[in-house]
Amino acid sequence: MAERMVAGALVLLPSALLLLRLGEPFAISAMASTTAIVLHSPNRYRRRPHVIASCYATGLAITVPITLIGMLTSMSGLLASTIAAVVIVAAPVGRVHPPTACIPLAITRSPGPAAMLLGWVTFAVVAVGFLAALWMMLMLATRRRW
């Protein structure tokens, strides 16, 4: 258990520090949920890292347009994010990797469309780094049994 805690901290803390700059309190939720699932079932992710990565990509592909349209129509960011989460939960991606439904909560408030888009780009870049770090950590831990 201690090894899992250290591994989780090594992967999540750098991501959280980068996402803190967005000023969005829930930006780390999808990554924290993914870390919990992966650390408790490492073989699943080690064999098929592309599945979780594609779920994140699909989650972003669903969420970004909905939240941008929401902003352009003066809809609250939280309402637009909720709509995106409902779409994700109803789609196959929500069944394959449930933390994908947390992605819409990552960016819920921005002063304008350009700032929101920048927030999503930042989140996507951090997510790519996070998923790569998670995969590398698992590759290094192949000799150990958690």
36 exposure class (CB count in 10 Å sphere: 0-12, 13-18, 19+): middle
Residue-level pLDDT at 142 = 64
Residue-level pLDDT at 146 = 53
Distance CA 112, CA 23 (A): 14
The number of distinct structural domains making up the chain is: 1
Residue-level pLDDT at 49 = 84
Whether 96 is covered by a domain: the verdict is yes
| Spans in the chain with pLDDT lower than 50 | none
Whether 122 is covered by a domain: the verdict is yes
Which among 1, 34, 2 is positioned nearest to 15, based on CA atoms?
A: 34
Helices 77-90/49-72 angle, 10° precision: 140
Whether 127 is covered by a domain: the verdict is yes
Domain that holds residue 96: 2-140
Q: Which residues contact 9 (CB under 8 A, 6 or more apart)?
A: none
Whether 146 is covered by a domain: the verdict is no
Whether 145 is covered by a domain: the verdict is no
Which among 103, 94, 93 is positioned nearest to 123, based on CA atoms?
A: 103
Q: Return the DSSP state at 3.
A: H
Whether 14 is covered by a domain: the verdict is yes
Residue-level pLDDT at 66 = 97
Whether 57 is covered by a domain: the verdict is yes
What is the pTM (predicted TM-score) of this model?
A: 0.88
